[in-house]
Amino acid sequence: MTERVHFRYNNCGHRFEVEVLDEYERREARREKRPTSAVHCPECYRTDVRRGWE
C-alpha cells in the first residue's frame, strides 16, 4: 500500500506531500523490472528534494 510522505525542495523550499510505494511494492516493482518513479518538485520538476518539512 502506498504511503504519504512529506518532502521539501532544497533550492526554493517548496513543501509538498506525495504518495510513494512502500518497501514491499518497491521490491515487487524491481523484481518485475517496472520503474519506481523518482520524487520531484511539483513546481519546477527537479529531483533535489529532502524528506520531511524541517
How confident is the model over 1-54, as pLDDT tens digits? 778 888 888 877 888 888 888 889 989 989 999 888 778 888 887 878 888 877
Nearest CA to 19 out of 32, 31, 1 is that of 1
pLDDT score recorded for residue 53: 75
Q: List the chain domain ranges.
A: 3-51
pLDDT score recorded for residue 31: 94
Helix (H) or strand (E) run with residue 25 in it: helix 23-31
C-alpha cell read off for 54: 524541517
pLDDT score recorded for residue 52: 82
- CA separation for the pair 24, 40 (Å, rounded): 22
- CA separation for the pair 12, 50 (Å, rounded): 12
